[in-house]
A and B are shown apart, each in its own frame.
Chain A
Amino acid sequence: PDCSCVGEEIWVDSRTVYIGHKEPPPGAEAYIPQRYPDNRIVSSKYTFWNFIPKNLFEQFRRIANFYFLVIFLVQLIIDTPTSPVTSGLPLFFVITVTAIKQGYEDWLRHKADCSINECPVDVVQQGKVVRTQSHKLRVGDIVVVKEDETFPCDLILLSSSRPDGTCFVTTTSLDGESSHKTYYAIPDTMAFRTEQEVDSLHATIECEQPQPDLYKFVGRINIYKDKEEPVARPLGAENLLLRGATLKNTQHIHAVAVYTGMETKMALNYQSKSQKRSAVEKSMNAFLIVYLCILISKAVINTVLKYAWQWSPDRDEPWYNHRTEHERQRHVVIRAFTDFLAFMVLFNYIIPVSMYVTVEMQKFLGSYFISWDEEMFDEELGEGAQVNTSDLNEELGQVEYVFTDKTGTLTENNMEFIECCVDGNVYIPHAICNGQILSAASSIDMIDASPGGYRREYEDLFFRALCLCHTVQVKEEETVDGIKRGIHQGRPTSFYISSSPDEVALVEGMKRLGYTYLRLKDNYMEILNKDDEIERFELLHVLNFDSVRRRMSVIVKSSSGDYLLFCKGADSSIFPRVVSGKVEQVKARVEQNAVEGLRTLCVAYRRLSESEYQEACHHLMEAKLALQDREQRLAQAYDIIERDFVLLGATAVEDRLQEKAADTIESLHKAGMKVWVLTGDKMETAAATCYASKLFRRTTQILELTKKRTEEQSLHDVLFELNRTVLRQLCDALVFFIFFSLSVDCLDFGLIIDGATLSAVLKPNQEGAGHGNYREIFLEICRNCSAVLCCRMAPLQKAQIVKLIKASKEHPITLAIGDGANDVSMILEAHVGIGIMGKEGRQAARNSDYAIPKFKHLKKMLLVHGHYYYIRIAELVQYFFYKNVCFIFPQFLYQFFCGFSQQPLYDTAYLTLYNISFTSLPILLYSLVEQHVSMDTLKREPSLYRDIAKNSLLRWPVFLYWTCLGVFDAVVFFFGAYFLFDNTTFTSNGQMFGNWTFGTLIFTVLVFTVTLKLALDTHHWTWINHFVIWGSLLFYVIFSLLWGGIIWPFLNYQRMYYVFMQMLSSGPAWLSIILLITVSLLPDVIKKVLCRAMCPTATERAQVQCSLISVCMVACPCYMCSILLLPFSLHISLCLVSLGMFDMYFVVTVPASLINMLIK
């Protein structure tokens, strides 16, 4: 009765695949042909037809583009002071360039798609192999894949050329793991050899609808044999061959397509991406809002003043300046609104479109420096740092909390078997004998048996358990140049591969102790025991490891017919399930090893009777066949099976610290970051690692917040006590510090907390009164600890901790670094996620924002790259606002002198090109190459990182300073020119200048001042800086000469004709340009010099030190000379090349103006 219901449910979110498109026998199930997408991969976003509308739509969804579109439309619709070209052209440029780039990328994708989709694929049809194209594959097709071919879609393995029905696969292109993974065919079909046989298969597959998790698959195959009940077999991730993976070491396989085209896991995987925004971006948006308010208030003020001023009709319409009849008839409200819009348009340049473009370019181009960094290249891995998102570059300079994983991040994850303890006796394999390293083959007796050395049943079981309870694969030496390496040694050598380095270490350790795991063949595991005899165990079930259970088991059948369950796992997950064995001794040994920083595992076993085995089998099968909640059911089944253990012993594996891990942590500490270690390991092991990596020092006072303590006292008491300790100590230290100026070492606290206590702390309190209190107290304690160690953490708890700190009241910037799948959640949660390209696969690296080969590279990443990116982008943002205040504020002032008529001060070309070409390249270059302090100094003195902490360069006072500086400069420009023009002439022939000369004079001063201001801020003058800064000034002059030198036939006005040249022919104009530039730059120089002299920051001190050391100062005059003496013509030509990206403007200007003329 339940069946139909279940069936109904299955129907909704599962699919039925008919293998070979054969209908199931009548009566079994209704044949419902389903439609799935074909195997066409479409990674392209656009087609030829929808490119323009879709691309435009996507681009205008961005707020900045939309803003400029609105401005542009306003300019088109109403009569505005500036022509639509001024905002239309930059917008057009940005949109076109983006569209061309995206179009080109999409064309490449189309090409790639095409080549993939037309890739030949062998399909079995009517018992014959037919070659077809990849995109013609359909769900249900049986595919033949040969060695070294990539799978064309997600396939269920039916049979393989290997007799045991397995095949090897690498998933390098999917997740970066290069190890060979084994996939299994179901026993019922693995015997198929020929196409005819395969074609005779009559079966359906029920499986879930596609989902992106690469490591999850739930399905069921129903095999119909003549008029019998169908046989159902479970299908899991071990049967599913993923598109993009490559077949290895297997001649060919037959497999059936289940997910095709865009439904393959690979395609689904590249569609989600985390959206993180940096603190800089947030402050940038805040500044933007301020400027938007300034813009609106400016427009409102001017509109109001305009109408107040125009009150008398003689001012509104003097006899010499009448409105058109059409304008006069317009209602005054409409006129006022139009005026408001016109003022908005006039001042809209205060929010420049080019800032967005520049910031984006800076981020995109700047991130190359990370991947180009040779120091972050790891020879061993053959890989350098990798940037997955460039949006967070500057966030690297703002990190306050570092959350790091231990295994594989702090440590090498290069395991070495140290010892084992069987039933209280300790065994240590001697790798070194008489000073010579013995090869594994020749050393026979390597067991240093503790007292007596008696062999007992437990010992045998222990070694067998370790040889059997694992998922290690044996890989025979690959053929190199046709000769099998290793053969000449007499017997083939082989090595072990596994996703867990612990397992490899254990199996290799066993080999050294005399028990060699040979291979898995036809479900029989073969072991070469100490007496060189081969023992065979039938592998019945593998209860896989997972990080929640923290153990794994195997059920094997020995040659004597006994059913044995071997289990190995973390002590905490084994001991509660043990019923007998020398628990005390083993526990003592485990703890001792843990203190030494070794990774320990406990081994236990259970003998199963036939009935118990059957029951276990039943549980497992039931769970495995479930389509719903399979994970949960499996966990339940495991829980039932894994109990009543007999403890056999424990192992200890050493995981060495990564190179320079201690140095890195010390630097991070000095840089003011708090380092937290989050690990799933035991407290003792983790603490030992922490001491070794200098996270805790000898002087560190350790506070413990562990289950052991909370069992004695209530959590409440412990927390309050710790809090008191911390605060008291702080006060004491402060007193000491004030009176005796002692070093602050005594302030050092370290906290150790375990997962269980953490969840108790984070749990909302039932009593109600203390709700949230614990959390606060805990945070308070943490804030005062320089280092925190969280052990026994579940992956999700890691993310919880990160979230907790993120949400605390200071909102610190967090960074999470890890290498394994268990770190992914925290990497995604933290502000910046860094993945280490580790041995535990590439999941962390794939989900991270940045990936680095080793932990030590974090130092350079944060202290050097992060620091640089931060100061660069901070200057970029502030400078952009500054230069636009300088640009627009004179225009605002001019309104007071032109009857609030929205008369622009500058010519259209200047308005348009100011942000795009006259002042854009220097700041872009600055934001790419500026180094205020040398790289080595930054590395040598991590404390410099504190200077930029808490977004210090983008705080409101700094922003205010820049804005005020901008306003001051603007006032200087405007009134300087005003007094110069005031009712007098300043040419030597008595001729007068007009309003366009007035604007051009201001504009010239503006461009020079703004560029020289940047030059004053530049601390790192490479030849490119010289080139771009002087080049863009030169470009401005040349452009102005050109722009005013010709009667441009396509322009309907010639107002700039000879204006610039006439201005330059006047002596006072030159003098006033020089004067105004000097005056505008003066306050900034004084501020800089005074700040440096009175209260220099650490950075500024470092700069001085640096310059004392370097000989640059001596070399600089020569250097300057050589720059200035560069042949002039060369300079110009290079200059134009450097401005090449904006040269398009010239090309674009012509047609755009033509369009403009047409519009008019």
Chain B
Amino acid sequence: MMASSYSAKDEDGHITVSGPGGGTLRNKKPENTAFKQQRLPAWQPILTAGTVLPAFFIIGLIFIPIGIGLYVTSNNIKEFEIDYTGDDTSSPCYNCAQNFSWNNTKSCTCIIPFQLDQPYESNVFMYYGLSNFYQNHRRYVKSRDDSQLNGNIDSLKKPSKECEPYASVDNKPIAPCGAIANSMFNDTLKLFYNDPNGTSVPILLTSTGIAWWTDKHVKFRNPGGNNANLTAVFQGTVKPVNWHRPVYELDTDPENNGFINEDFIVWMRTAALPTFRKLYRIIQKNNNMAPTLPRGNYTLVVDYNYPVRSFEGRKRMILSTISWMGGKNPFLGIAYITVGSVCFFLGVVLLVIHHKYGNRNNSANISN
């Protein structure tokens, strides 16, 4: 700063040497522009009780109906949740939970009967829920290699360092690498409807459309394109240690196999909170007349592979219908109603204040 003023002085000196002083003086006069004189035209709003009042009433009037709408919508959603962790002895999955061992090659099956009191119209979404599972742990979240999942051959052979300690086994790269992939949820859930006449009808569970479209089609890609022979492509890699099958055997459908398996993609989107649910299957509404899931007795058949007892976790299966605002969540509706009422109430308070103090202000102005 001082050095620059120094040179400025120097230059000034040269100007006075070369030319008459009068010329330089004229130029010093500041320009009379609105910006430079800080006189730009401006809108000057003031937040007074008078101006804010209508806003409060309007907010109240808009928020309360929205809230009521949301609340009603949320209440109309049907949701059924069943915990199959198998912690207490009465639970059908108790044995499976107790006898769990990583070395079991044969999966343990447990059968959970349940009853739906109401028919579920329209599409029903089937979720699995985990509790106390820290998918948002930093070490866990970053333990993946997105370029490997995007089909990059180099990353397939040499997974990113972030995947440690799930990057390689015996110097063979793991595909898909990382803690997230390694801990993929592998319980199999099947639903049966127990007809009143005694037969057990399996319910068709759709396993596509559960992942984001962009994830399935852009972010996740099998190495060597989606049409190649996956077994050949994954040659030289090993499956994640906790998996029973390699990645190229996740599904028989080539459109849903390998990295673009939707169950896998869903799992790879790490949840925000330690209690979370993930979309497992969709039960499509098949004909217009009958409800998708009529009221009655059902059986949930679980291939129990996923251990949660060690970290005191819980496993749940959730059936839910969906509205335009998603699943059952009364929070938003209640919040809207509360905020709307508060605003309305404040509007009334402000109205009183405005009447009481507004006049005093004005008189004070006049006396001033």
Contact = CB atoms under 8 A, between A and B. Distances in A.
Whether chain B is bound by chain A comes out as: yes
A382 B38 contact: no
B212 A1020 contact: no
A384 B279 contact: no
B354 A1110 contact: no
B301 interface: no
Nearest to A931: B38
A267 B7 CA distance: 10
A109 B47 contact: no
B37 A1075 contact: no
Contact of B42 (A1020, A1057, A1078): A1020
B332 A1093 contact: no
A634 B184 CA distance: 96
A100 to B, nearest CB: 15
A1092 B49 CA distance: 8
Interface string B234-255: 0000000010000000000000
B289 interface: no
A1104 B7 contact: no
Interface residues on A, range: 35 or more
Contact of A903 (B137, B282, B322, B327): B137
Contacts of B38: 369, 868, 929, 931, 935
Interface in A864-904: 868, 897-899, 901-904
B269 A988 contact: no
Interface in B38-80: 38-49, 52, 59, 63, 66, 70
A324 B134 contact: no
A993 B28 CA distance: 61
B361 A1096 contact: yes
A321 interface: yes
B88 interface: no
Interface in B309-368: 310-312, 320, 322-329, 331-332, 335-336, 339, 342-343, 346, 350, 353-354, 357-358, 361, 364-365, 368
Contacts of A984: 277, 326-329
B7 A108 contact: yes
B48 A1092 contact: yes
Given A150-B17, A1054-B219, A994 B272 contact: yes
Contacts of B30: 371-374, 377, 384
A1104 B138 contact: no
B359 to A, nearest CB: 11
Interface in A1095-1118: 1096, 1100-1101, 1103-1107, 1110, 1112, 1115-1116
B43 A1120 contact: yes
A689 to B, nearest CB: 31
A453 interface: no
Given A991-B211, A1054-B219, A903 B37 contact: no
Nearest to A148: B17
Nearest to B125: A990
A1047 B311 CA distance: 36
A150 B325 contact: no
Interface stretch (A581-589, A640-648, A825-833, A1021-1029): A1021-1029
Interface stretch (B90-98, B112-120, B140-148, B188-196): B140-148
Interface stretch (B103-111, B160-168, B223-231, B290-298): B160-168
Given A173-B16, A986-B329, A989-B322, A901 B40 contact: no
A983 B63 CA distance: 24
B339 A1079 contact: yes
Contacts of B48: 1089, 1092-1093, 1104
Nearest to A999: B272
Contacts of B358: 1093
A81 B47 CA distance: 42
Interface string A925-952: 0000101001100000000000000000
B16 A992 contact: no
Contacts of B218: 1047, 1057-1058
Contacts of A1019: 44-46
A1054 B146 contact: yes
Contacts of B145: 1052
B360 to A, nearest CB: 9
B172 interface: no
B165 A320 contact: no
A1022 B13 CA distance: 40
A980 interface: yes
A319 B142 CA distance: 16
A902 B272 contact: no
B214 interface: yes
Interface string A85-116: 00000000000000000000100110010001
A739 interface: no
B59 A45 contact: no
Given A319-B307, A323-B165, A995-B141, A45 B277 contact: no
Contacts of A271: 2
Interface stretch (A651-659, A777-785, A1080-1088): A1080-1088
A1055 interface: yes
A988 to B, nearest CB: 5
Contacts of A935: 38-39
Interface string A363-404: 000001101111101000011100010000000000000000
A270 B1 CA distance: 10
B44 A982 contact: no
Interface stretch (A120-128, A609-617, A1066-1074): A1066-1074
Interface in A975-1006: 976, 978-995, 997-999
Given A319-B307, A1067-B324, A899 B137 contact: yes
B179 A321 contact: yes
Contact of B179 (A266, A322, A995): A322
A530 interface: no
A934 B42 CA distance: 10
B48 to A, nearest CB: 6
B260 interface: no
Interface string B1-36: 111111101111110110001000110111110001
B202 interface: no
B286 interface: no
Given A270-B3, A982-B273, A992-B269, 11 more contacts: A314-B310, A323-B139, A899-B136, A980-B329, A983-B129, A989-B322, A995-B273, A1024-B40, A1025-B42, A1079-B339, A1112-B43
Q: Would you list the 4 A-B pairs with minimal beta carbon distance, nearest first?
A: A173-B13, A320-B183, A998-B272, A986-B326
16 contacts: A43-B10, A314-B311, A321-B143, A898-B137, A929-B38, A931-B42, A979-B331, A981-B272, A983-B276, A985-B326, A990-B322, A995-B135, A995-B270, A1021-B44, A1079-B339, A1093-B350
